[in-house]
């Protein structure tokens, strides 16, 4: 018996040692396995497209050992976080973006040019060589567009190599308009924005009011020199530019009827339309053009930098309808700057009576509403007649509009603020509104089949991007940024989030913008490549363990059975009975 006792003690000792060894191994595995890399991604709260895209990234990047925190934020809060200390800011800033003027320079400059004070370069990225290439491309546009496109292509490939941005997809402009309304032409820069003057009411109705449902604030400012946001919906109908460019690239004269440019691209001369009046009754002429552009440039707000190329503006005493722009360097003044829906509006020089540029800014945003309408000083077909902040704005036709009112036109336009998509959809189907956008994509087919509205989807100069914080470790490492770009399931997002209403991006410049190119590098979805790049950057990624360990609550009996069968036999039988009832459980690393 003493011998059996010694064997029994030895068996138990061995079993304990084995169990301790296994426990130590498991502890070591979990203690030394790669810690998840925590990243913060912010997106616009309430936007289902941004939210769903973020959730797909969260799931996919978990395969890389990345703990992605996705945080929907109101724009002001998201903006405040991003404009603070980059080392304390978000890691990825998701937003839609579109150029302010019809050139790749607008898009590339806004997002990637070196900025002393951050505007939209929320990747906090800077490369002086790329800055110079951008600037050269812009200067070249006026004299050699083919060469300019080549330079823009090079800029984009450099950006894609450094990867301060993830280009998720290029959007389509999807607008929903009441059946029978004709004449809708999308703004070539800002989707869902239309010139109301071009709309034609249905022939079977006497309704003279067009009702437009918008999903957010209408005005952030009423100053046409400062405007760089949502108010484009209204301002492009209240104010006008020298020329206008349509989505197909056609340039037409608006307040200018003819123009010429010197061979070196440095002198642009415009002959202006006669017989035009501003809403306040002031006659339009070259003096108004000079005052408007110089004020926009000197005020230094919003899109004022578009006019940096202008050295001086000349008017001619013998011809009040001739104006000349003398440039410091060649620039596409006609097709980009003078036609811009931001920063190129011409307004009444009578505003000078109010005071200096700052005093005029205060008046346009506050004081103007203390008088009587019109609350605008443009030449556009409509003027602002009433604005109830956060609720609606009413615009009425300007009887003395130079374009006249022959033919079918709307007498009045009402823009209502309706944040909830379901509310806008119900109002559309009930005939309470005539136009909206940004409805659930899965509802569009039924809306189109309702016979009450038409859904139109067209390519848009707009995309969804994620700007990567290049100042914050480990994203200051290019390999890590590239890994994230490889780990985006682009087609899955387009299919599941956009339901096909989007296309893959070729670089950061969307289609429809001169400078867009399909020769720009695309990151394919390649999770293996992403892991390799993270490993190269010194970031460990999870690996599947090669060993599968059988487990049961009676594991000790199994070890005892190997060393002292009589002692462990009954316990082992019980273990087998349990396994037969509930099946083997396995632990996989």
SS (H, E, C) 251-290: EEECCEEEEEECCCCCEEEEEECCCCECCCCCECCHHHHH
- What is the spatial distance between Cα 468 and Cα 485, in angstroms, rounded to a whole number? 10
- Asked if 463 and 510 touch (Cβ cutoff 8 Å), the reply is yes
Note the helical H segments in 338-489: 357-365, 421-429, 444-449, 478-486
Greater pLDDT, 42 or 23: 42
Q: What is the mean pLDDT of residues 476-487?
A: 98
pLDDT of residue 188: 84
In tens, the pLDDT along 540-561 reads: 988 653 333 333 334 334 433 4
pLDDT of residue 36: 80
In tens, the pLDDT along 231-248 reads: 999 999 999 999 999 888
pLDDT of residue 583: 40
> Is the pLDDT assigned to residue 295 strictly greater than 70?
yes
- Give the confidence band of 191 by pLDDT, cuts at 50, 70, 90: confident
In tens, the pLDDT along 34-47 reads: 568 999 999 999 89
Angle, helix 145-162 to helix 128-141, in steps of 10 degrees: 160
CATH of the structural domain 180-417, one choice from 3.30.70.100, 3.40.50.2300, 3.30.360.10, 3.40.190.10: 3.40.190.10
Q: What is the mean pLDDT of residues 465-491?
A: 98
- Asked if 137 and 515 touch (Cβ cutoff 8 Å), the reply is yes
**Element at 55 (helix H, strand E):** helix 48-61
- What is the spatial distance between Cα 523 and Cα 161, in angstroms, rounded to a whole number? 10
- What is the spatial distance between Cα 498 and Cα 48, in angstroms, rounded to a whole number? 10
Delimit the domains of the chain by residue range. 2-33+545-588, 37-170+459-536, 180-417
- What is the spatial distance between Cα 371 and Cα 348, in angstroms, rounded to a whole number? 17
Cα angle: 495, vertex 499, 505; to 5 degrees: 60
Greater pLDDT, 272 or 589: 272
CB count within 10 Å of CB 394 equals 17
DSSP designation for 36: P
Q: What is the mean pLDDT of residues 300-318?
A: 94
- Give the confidence band of 11 by pLDDT, cuts at 50, 70, 90: low
Level-2 CATH architecture, domain 37-170+459-536: Roll (3.10)
Mean of all residue pLDDT scores within the chain: 88
Decide whether 37-170+459-536 matches 180-417 in CATH topology. no
Which pair of tokens denotes residue 349?
């020089």
pLDDT of residue 550: 33
**By percentage, how much of the chain surpasses pLDDT 90?**
76
- Asked if 382 and 409 touch (Cβ cutoff 8 Å), the reply is no
- What is the spatial distance between Cα 467 and Cα 508, in angstroms, rounded to a whole number? 11
Which pair of tokens denotes residue 379?
């030449």
E strand residue ranges, 179-331: 209-214, 243-245, 251-253, 256-261, 267-272, 310-316, 319-327
- What is the spatial distance between Cα 486 and Cα 531, in angstroms, rounded to a whole number? 9
In tens, the pLDDT along 424-437 reads: 999 999 999 999 99
Q: Which long-range contacts (CB under 8 A, 24 or more apart) does 471-474 make?
A: 471/86, 471/87, 471/124, 472/86, 472/87, 472/89, 472/91, 474/37, 474/537, 474/539
- Give the confidence band of 567 by pLDDT, cuts at 50, 70, 90: very low
**By percentage, how much of the chain surpasses pLDDT 70?**
87
């Amino acid at each position: 018996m003493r011998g059996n006792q010694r064997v029994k003690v030895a068996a138990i000792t061995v079993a304990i040692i084995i169990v301790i060894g296994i426990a130590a191994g498991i502890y070591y595995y979990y203690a030394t396995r790669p810690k998840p890399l925590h990243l913060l991604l912010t997106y616009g709260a309430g936007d289902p497209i941004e939210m769903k895209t973020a959730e797909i990234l969260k799931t996919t990047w978990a395969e890389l050992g990345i703990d992605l925190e996705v945080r929907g934020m109101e724009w002001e809060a998201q903006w405040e976080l991003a404009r603070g200390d980059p080392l304390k800011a978000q890691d990825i800033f998701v937003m839609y973006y579109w150029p302010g003027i019809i050139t790749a320079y607008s898009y590339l400059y806004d997002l990637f040019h070196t900025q002393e004070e951050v505007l939209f370069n929320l990747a906090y990225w800077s490369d002086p060589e790329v800055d110079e290439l951008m600037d050269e491309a812009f200067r070249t546009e006026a004299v050699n567009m083919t060469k300019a496109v080549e330079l823009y292509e090079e800029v984009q490939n450099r950006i894609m190599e450094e990867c301060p941005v993830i280009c998720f997809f290029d959007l389509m402009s999807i607008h929903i308009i009441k059946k029978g309304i004709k004449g809708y032409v999308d703004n070539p820069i800002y989707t869902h924005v239309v010139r109301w003057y071009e709309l034609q009411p249905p022939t079977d109705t006497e309704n003279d009011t067009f009702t437009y449902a918008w999903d957010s604030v209408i005005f952030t400012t009423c100053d046409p020199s400062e405007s760089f946001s949502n108010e484009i919906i209204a301002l492009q109908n209240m104010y006008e530019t020298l020329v206008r460019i349509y989505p197909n690239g056609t340039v037409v004269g608006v307040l200018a009827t003819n123009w010429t440019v010197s061979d070196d691209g440095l002198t642009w001369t415009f002959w202006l339309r006669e017989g035009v009046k501003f809403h306040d009754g002031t006659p339009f002429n070259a003096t108004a053009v000079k005052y408007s552009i110089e004020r926009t440039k000197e005020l230094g707000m919003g899109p004022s930098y578009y006019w940096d190329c202008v050295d001086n503006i000349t008017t001619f005493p013998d011809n009040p309808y001739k104006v000349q722009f003398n440039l410091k360097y060649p620039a596409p003044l006609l097709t980009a700057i003078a036609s811009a829906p931001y920063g190129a509006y011409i307004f009444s020089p009578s505003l000078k009576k109010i005071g200096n540029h700052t005093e005029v800014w205060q008046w346009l945003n506050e004081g103007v509403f203390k008088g009587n309408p019109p609350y605008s000083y443009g030449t556009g077909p409509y003027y602002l007649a009433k604005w109830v902040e956060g609720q609606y704005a009413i615009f009425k036709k300007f009887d003395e509009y130079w374009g006249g009112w022959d033919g079918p036109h709307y007498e009045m336009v009402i823009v209502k603020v309706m944040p909830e998509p379901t509310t806008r959809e119900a109002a559309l189907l009930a005939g309470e509104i005539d136009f909206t956008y940004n409805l659930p994509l899965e509802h569009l087919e039924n809306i189109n089949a309702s016979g009450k509205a038409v859904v139109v989807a067209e390519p848009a100069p707009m995309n969804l991007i994620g700007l990567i914080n290049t100042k914050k470790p480990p994203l200051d490492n290019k390999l890590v940024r590239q890994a994230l770009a490889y780990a985006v399931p682009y087609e899955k997002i387009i299919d599941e989030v956009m339901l096909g209403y989007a296309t893959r991006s070729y670089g950061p410049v969307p289609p429809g913008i001169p400078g867009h190119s399909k020769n720009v590098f695309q990151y394919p979805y390649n999770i293996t490549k992403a892991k390799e790049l993270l490993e190269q950057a010194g970031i460990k990624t999870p690996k599947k363990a090669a060993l599968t360990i059988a487990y049961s609550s009676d594991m000790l009996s199994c070890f005892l059975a190997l060393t002292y069968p009589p002692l462990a036999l009954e316990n082992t039988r019980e273990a087998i009975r349990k396994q037969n009832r509930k099946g083997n459980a396995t632990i996989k690393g």
